[in-house]
């Protein structure tokens, strides 16, 4: 399967501003790219590229005052298979976790592990350890939180999601991530592309999506508390402790969003196009 990915984001800047963008496909999917994955910036600036402490590709640049456009388009090969599952996967004992997984057990900006530990133990502590417990977390969040773009609020934390029972995809994942960490299961927040591939299309404008990954039996597995079933065509861009670590753009000054478009859609293979 081939998937066309891209975005077109425009700002108005009242003054020159340094910005950081996380708009590239994650390095773990670089081998699947069939076209260059290059962020275009207008007006032209001299960007600097680096990999952050979570392994994400970042672009830093000084944007001049006035209109700013960030855009890209690339083509990626995908297996066309749903997210992999392993219902028999067990939890890795804490003393055997790799060091890089330990920070995904701790509280972070949007994930108040210390405040939700008692709730998590009450809801899920009696369940079998491993995949079944993480899936139970997803089931509970999916069934008890109502999705809606009208509920979007970029300061909402996991505790507030629990109390308010509404949110967008990031809120579902923050609560699920927090519950997992409370249960001593490393969990990290993820963002990327997820189009309406293999599911009925929805009328809402396309956006970047959020999901999370849990560390079980020696590897990271994809879970999604909002959709709560395996999806096709998920393309990772970045992972971190929560949404604060993987913001699509970070502006160190005022910036006013003027346009936001995301494209992620299945396309015919080149061979099919040539013979069609």
Averaged pLDDT of the chain? 95
Rg, the chain, Cα only: 19
236 forms beta bridges with 192
Taking a C-beta distance cutoff of 8 angstroms, is the pair 6, 272 a contact?
no
Confidence of residue 232 (pLDDT cuts 50, 70, 90): very high
Alpha helices in the chain (DSSP H): 99-102, 113-124, 131-144, 158-164, 169-182, 270-275
pLDDT at 152 over 50: yes
Confidence of residue 270 (pLDDT cuts 50, 70, 90): low
Q: Which residues contact 156 (CB under 8 A, 6 or more apart)?
A: 110, 164, 167, 171, 174
| Domains of the chain and any CATH numbers | 2-79+248-275 (2.60.40.2250), 94-245 (3.10.620.30)
Note the pLDDT tens digit of each residue in 61-76: 999 999 999 999 999 9
**Model confidence, pTM:** 0.94
Q: Rounded distance, CA 181 to CA 114, Å?
A: 10
Q: Rounded distance, CA 220 to CA 224, Å?
A: 13
């Amino acid at each position: 399967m081939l998937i066309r990915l891209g975005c077109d984001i425009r700002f108005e800047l009242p003054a020159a501003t340094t910005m950081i963008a996380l708009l590239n496909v994650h390095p773990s999917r670089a081998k699947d790219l069939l076209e260059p994955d290059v962020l275009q910036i207008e007006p032209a600036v001299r960007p600097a590229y680096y990999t952050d402490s979570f392994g994400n590709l970042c672009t830093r640049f000084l944007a001049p005052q006035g209109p700013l456009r960030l855009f890209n388009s690339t083509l990626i090969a995908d297996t066309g298979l749903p997210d992999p599952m392993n219902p028999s996967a067990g939890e890795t004992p804490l003393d055997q976790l790799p060091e890089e997984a330990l920070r995904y057990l701790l509280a972070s900006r949007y994930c108040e592990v210390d405040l939700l530990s008692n709730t998590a133990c009450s809801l899920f502590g009696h369940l079998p350890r491993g995949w079944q417990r993480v899936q139970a977390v997803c089931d509970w969040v999916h069934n008890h939180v109502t999705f809606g773009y009208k509920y979007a609020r970029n300061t909402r934390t996991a505790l507030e999601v629990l109390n308010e029972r509404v949110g967008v995809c990031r809120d579902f994942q923050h609560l699920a991530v927090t519950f997992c960490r409370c249960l001593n299961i490393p969990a990290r927040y993820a963002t990327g592309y997820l189009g309406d591939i293999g599911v009925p299309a929805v009328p809402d404008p396309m956006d970047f999506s959020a999901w999370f990954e849990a560390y079980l039996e020696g590897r990271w597995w994809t879970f999604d508390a909002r959709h709560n079933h395996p999806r096709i065509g998920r393309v990772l861009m970045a992972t971190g402790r929560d949404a604060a670590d993987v913001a699509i753009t970070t502006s160190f000054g005022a910036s006013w969003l003027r346009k936001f478009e995301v494209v992620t859609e299945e396309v015919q293979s080149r061979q099919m196009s040539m013979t069609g």
